[in-house]
């Protein structure tokens, strides 16, 4: 199958639109509706689970061994823990992120009576009042609070306006798309992955080509709290590639340019054969790539394996600087990853035995174990060292 053309303007436009839709874990209905509408517009008929996860299948030339690409719709956020006597809100995080990145954030609080705007501030927010204590106070969720942009001075005022424990707090993205290709925003994890998945699907649909095998495009809604693919992955999928962020930081090989292919995360190594298939496809298609290992990271792949799915998994990422903070990526990585995903879904299946969930050893793959060829002359032909 010829290499498909990825519409980069479409990818960028989708990302801009997705970033405008609040979707903390547990509050994803709006983004589910938006993405389903886009899938239908592309000519695909999606399925939606009870809680709002999405999957859409493109039928291939063969049914099995089917494949899946997955990204997640949910983001980090917060939730009201307590209505405070001073008329402010104590909050706890949704997902794993530091209150250091919450300080100063503009937010929307969703109550049963409607949405309110506000800011997350440290308990000692006024330099004119607290002087150096503004800098010396601890960092953490017990040391921040939400100031609501309404006339509230106590708990009674909050209750009168309809605030309750458990209300969801969405963090503003503050997205900027720069002319030099950099994108700075909260929640690029994983809305950039969703945009890549949609751009890949669009490229396939518009090509009119039929894929080698049935291929699922899956969107989970609770990855940030560790559930993810476990609740939505079709049982007959043999191989799943997760699209998510790579952790660009000192000591990591991830990069904001090209594709970062994860070899392992905190749950262990990814599938050897599927991971190396992605590496080979990147080489064959001249797609810049690097490999990395993530110590403090889990993804939709982990949730599927931990739930007992017998599926090969891999993780292909776009490098994100300051992940789970105020994140930055470059369009080069998004384009590269979309190109790799189109190459993957259009490539022939390498392990045909995967069409059967159980079977004999026949056709089961081998991992390379032969000795490496030396790149120096045999020792007896070398001049003795003096």
Looking at the DSSP bridge assignments, the partners of residue 92 are 79
Looking at the DSSP bridge assignments, the partners of residue 264 are 269, 293
Write the CA distances from 71 to 134, 141, 221, 340, 380, integer angstroms: 39, 28, 9, 15, 55
How many angstroms separate the CA atoms of 328 and 309, rounded? Answer: 33
How many angstroms separate the CA atoms of 87 and 161, rounded? Answer: 11
How many angstroms separate the CA atoms of 193 and 337, rounded? Answer: 9
Catalytic, out of 90, 112, 209, 223: 223
Q: Which of 382, 255, 239, 231 is nearest to 318 (CA)?
A: 255
| Strand locations in 322-380 (E) | 327-330
| Strand locations in the chain (E) | 47-48, 54-58, 62-72, 77-83, 89-94, 106-111, 114-122, 144-148, 168-171, 176-177, 182-185, 213-220, 237-248, 259-265, 268-269, 289-293, 312-321, 327-330
All residues at 6 or more sequence positions from 37 whose CB lies less than 8 Å from its CB, including other chains? none
Q: Which of 9, 12, 10, 19 is nearest to 73 (CA)?
A: 19
Residue 103 known to be catalytic: no
Any idea which residues carry the catalytic annotation? Answer: 223
């Amino acid at each position: 199958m010829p290499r498909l053309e990825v519409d980069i303007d479409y990818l960028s436009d989708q990302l801009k639109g997705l970033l405008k839709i609040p979707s903390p874990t547990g509050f994803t209905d709006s983004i589910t509706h938006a993405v389903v509408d886009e899938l239908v517009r592309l000519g695909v008929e999606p399925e939606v689970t009870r809680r709002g996860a999405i999957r859409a299948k493109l039928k291939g030339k063969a049914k099995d061994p089917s494949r899946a690409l997955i990204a997640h719709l949910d983001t980090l956020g917060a939730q009201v823990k307590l209505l405070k006597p001073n008329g402010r809100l104590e909050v706890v995080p949704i997902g794993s992120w530091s209150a250091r990145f919450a300080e100063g954030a503009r937010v929307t609080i969703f109550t049963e009576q409607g949405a309110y705007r506000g800011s997350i501030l440290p308990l000692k927010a006024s330099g004119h009042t607290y002087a150096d204590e503004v800098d010396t106070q601890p960092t953490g969720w017990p040391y921040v609070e939400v100031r609501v942009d309404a006339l509230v001075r106590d708990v009674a005022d909050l209750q009168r306006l309809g605030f309750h424990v458990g209300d969801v707090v969405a963090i503003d993205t503050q997205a900027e798309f720069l002319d030099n290709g950099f994108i700075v925003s909260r929640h690029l994890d994983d809305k950039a992955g969703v945009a890549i998945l949609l751009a890949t699907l669009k490229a396939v649909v518009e090509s009119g080509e039929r894929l080698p095998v049935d291929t699922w495009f899956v969107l989970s809604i609770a990855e940030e709290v560790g559930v993810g693919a476990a609740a939505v992955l079709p049982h007959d999928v043999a191989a799943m590639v997760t699209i998510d962020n790579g952790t660009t930081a000192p000591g990591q090989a991830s990069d904001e340019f090209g594709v970062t292919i994860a070899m392992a995360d905190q749950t262990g190594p990814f599938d050897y054969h599927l991971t190396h298939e992605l590496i080979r496809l990147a080489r064959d298609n001249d797609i810049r790539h690097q490999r990395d290992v993530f110590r403090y990271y889990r993804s939709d792949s982990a949730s599927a394996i931990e739930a007992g799915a017998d599926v090969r998994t891999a993780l292909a990422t776009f490098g994100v600087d300051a992940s789970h903070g105020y994140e930055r990526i470059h369009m080069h990585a998004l384009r590269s990853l979309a190109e790799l995903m189109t190459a993957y879904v259009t490539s022939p299946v390498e392990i045909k035995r995967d069409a059967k969930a159980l079977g004999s050893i026949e056709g089961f793959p081998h991992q390379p174990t032969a000795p490496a060829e030396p790149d120096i002359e045999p020792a007896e032909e070398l001049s003795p060292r003096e």
